[in-house]
Amino acid sequence: MLIVHHLNNSRSQRVLWMLEELGLVYEIRFYKRRPDMSAPDELRRIHPLGKSPIVEHLAPKGRRVVLVETGAICEYIVDLCGGRLGPARKDDLLRYRQFLHYAEGSVMPVLFSLLVASKVPLLGKLAARRVRPMLDVHLDYIETELISRKWFAGEKFSAADVMMSFPLEAARSRAGLDLTRPATIAWLDRIHARPAYRRALEKGGTYRFAN
């Protein structure tokens, strides 16, 4: 049994989507952000970091696995399903691994810095102007990659696309990603049209980035 400890408007929406793509049976335990947008203390009872997503796998013979970090969770679930949603071909493997970790390792830190800085008066706005070109480097790189193929790893949808969804949805919602990068917008439209994505939204509740 897989249990997703799901925080509204968070990265854990990607885990629900991935599980829907794979048709796996799972349980959702819902948590709500506090007024300051931080995660509730209840999540620390599941994992010391108190962050979402957290996935519990209650495996046979009483074995219990508790995982954090969306990339690690995606890799675990891919392995659990015998490689489904992994790379389609050996030639896709390096791109698959790269984008599986690029989402949180490279894009999100820059995007988060921009979003935080833009909310701080005066000095924050100056910092945001300095960070903006850094984000544009990433968005330009992503656009170039998606011009050359349909999905991030290759011609087949994979967990790499699941991972890249959150930063690009956040960039469109909060950081000016628009039709000046048409291949990226077309990719967002493709993932939002997937039946599994829509099912995950219905099950996960409020998720302000899916627009």
Please tell me the distance from the alpha carbon of residue 29 to that of residue 5, in angstroms, as a whole number.
5
The DSSP 8-state label assigned to residue 35 in this structure reads T
Q: What is the pLDDT at residue 137?
A: 96
Closest CA to 16 of 201, 208, 157, 210: 201
Domain boundaries, the chain: 2-85, 90-195
181: its two tokens: 């990068």
d(CA 171, CA 131): 13
Tell me what pLDDT residue 210 has. 64
Q: Domain 90-195 classified CATH 1.20.1250.20?
A: no
Give me the average pLDDT of each 10-residue run along the chain (211 residues): 90 96 96 83 91 90 90 96 93 95 96 82 74 94 97 97 96 92 98 97 84 62
In this structure, the number of other CB atoms found within 10 A of the CB of residue 4 comes to 24
pLDDT of residue 182: 98
Q: Please state which CATH class domain 2-85 belongs to.
A: alpha beta
Rounded to whole angstroms, the Cα distance separating 2 from 67 reads 11
